[in-house]
Amino acid sequence: MSQMKIFVADDVSATGLEPLKAAGFLVEKRTGLKGEELRASLQDCEGLVVRSETKVTAELMDSAPRLRVVGRAGVGVDNIDVAAATARGLVVMNAPDGNTMTTAEHTLALLMSLARRIPQAAASLKSGRWERKRFIGVELQGKTLGIVGLGRIGRVVAGRARSLSMNIVAYDPFIQPEQARDLEVETASLDEVLSRADFLTIHTPLTNETRGLIGRDAFARMKQGVRIINCARGGLVDERALLEAIKEGKVAGAALDVFEAEPPPEDHPLISREEVIATPHLGASTTEAQEGVAFTVAEQMRDFLLTGALRGAVNVPALGAEALNQLQPYMTLAESLGRFSAQLLDEAAVREVRIEYAGEVAEWDAAPVTRSFLAGLLRDMSARVNVVNAFLIADERGINVTASYRRAGQGSEFLPALTTRVITTGGEQKLAGALFKQGGDGRITEINGFHIEAIPTGHMVVMRNRDVPGVIGRVGTTLGERGVNISRFHLGRREQGGEAMAIIETDAPLTNEVLEELRSFEPVIYARQIEL
């Protein structure tokens, strides 16, 4: 065991590394290394521990022939090329829950500081001024706190804020009504949360769909004098739109721990505003949190290297070579179907997921495929969801997941490889898909009873309309006039003269204005953009 070496490249808590040392691993910690010096240090290492400073690239992995696992002492793995790690058979681990309490507490600290203007008052007093009348604040008691995202951090914030006698209203499309009741939290649509909040805090992952979530349109729906807190991810709040809202008096104040670019430029206009409180991404910066995430990752790496146990992994779970070769195309298709389905869903909470397998895939244990569908479906709900923990996330949300198999001789030759049903409080959504040929591209073959064939990739618009002449021409003309090129146009209908569905693939995403123009065409029932 003394020959198994773990290299620690960033400033990770020494106390947190004790599980590795106690198990007999050689732990070498050297921080700040770059380039060839770092690559040379990894030559004989089985494990690598990093925080956010070291960039774990494909090139770096290739320089470490014995490397088996990369551990991130924290939540985000943006500095690790996870796809490259998976392709090289490396496990990537993180500590998804290590910063829950400390980030929630920092959110509350900023909430109180924002209400009472504490940093501004402290700075004024330190500069020799006594300005009691200038820094009149507001009480939190009786105010409405809007929470966008009721994951682990959002739930802790809700509980702490409730003890301050605040009214809590939250938006999370994946939370079950009974879970919200247990949390003593009122849930509502995003529009309603925005319009009712005196204070608004965001706790969602940063994805293509959530980037700029709090932008001009969102600010327009908020009440005058609202206050904004963001301790989640830079980019969730449109900083230019926030600056405009502050200048116009719509937003009375903002507390930001994260920024679109970190560190932000010295002349960042928001930081210089008196209405803004800013901290340098301190959400996870407590002694306890840093020790906790290091300890968690150390335990996970120890168990994996000693027994092969996988906990806290963020990439593909261990599969035999043959099984992985057979299932990988179906896993890719399933994740795309999950992402597609998630973007078609309305705000109703997901209660159940059913997947039926038929044909070749039904001859295998398709649990990895089910995980891939759930990871795609739930990705925008939780920053930590992946194919390893997808079942756990679904269980936490009260989502029942079942899989069934139609094997050879049971009519499976007439069925798509995957048929997925997502049951929500508002109804059922059905998507089906198949491989074009064995091991080939996956395709959507059905959406809610409409038989249609399309490869789920890129920029897509799903449109349902009355089956009348002129719709295709009108859509093509509208997109052409707006400079949007159509790469493929897929059509399906149930019966002539009824309803039709189209999947329109475009070279670039549509703006909200173009989407609204499509929706304004009388035969169009709905049009929704999908990004894969």
96-115: per-residue pLDDT in tens? 788 899 999 999 999 999 99
Q: Residue 442 and residue 532: Cα distance in Å, rounded?
A: 13
CA trace torsion 239, 240, 241, 243 (10° rounding)? 90
Query: Which residues are designated catalytic?
Result: 233, 262, 281
Secondary structure element (H or E) that encloses residue 351, with its range:
strand 350-358
> pTM of the predicted model, to two decimals?
0.71
Per-residue pLDDT for 412 more than 60? no
Assign a CATH topology to domain 316-456: 60s Ribosomal Protein L30; Chain: A; (3.30.1330)
Per-residue pLDDT for 1 more than 50? no
| Domain spans of the chain, in order of start | 5-98+288-307, 100-278, 316-456, 458-532
Q: Residue 290 and residue 288: Cα distance in Å, rounded?
A: 6
Domains 100-278 and 458-532 share a fold: no
Average pLDDT rounded to a whole number, residues 306-329: 75
326-382: per-residue pLDDT in tens? 888 998 999 999 999 999 987 778 999 999 999 889 988 898 899 899 989 998 776
Beta strand ranges found along 361-417 (DSSP E): 400-406
Model confidence at 391, in pLDDT bands (50, 70, 90)?
confident
Q: Average the pLDDT over each of 210-219, 251-260, 464-473, 491-500 and give the range with the smallest value.
A: 491-500
Specify the pLDDT at position 109: 97
With both helix axes pointing from N to C terminus, report the angle between 100-116 and 118-126 in degrees, rounded to the nearest 10: 60
- Beta 450-454 vs 442-447: how paired, if at all? antiparallel
Q: What single-letter amino acid sits at 187?
A: T
**CATH classification (class only), 5-98+288-307:** alpha beta
> Does the domain spanning 100-278 belong to CATH 3.40.50.720?
yes
Domain 458-532 homologous superfamily, CATH = ACT domain (3.30.70.260)
Q: Average the pLDDT over each of 134-143, 345-354, 475-484 and give the range with the smallest value.
A: 345-354
User: For residue 391, which of 322, 297, 300, 317 has the smallest C-alpha distance?
Assistant: 317
Owner of token pair 């690239």: 57
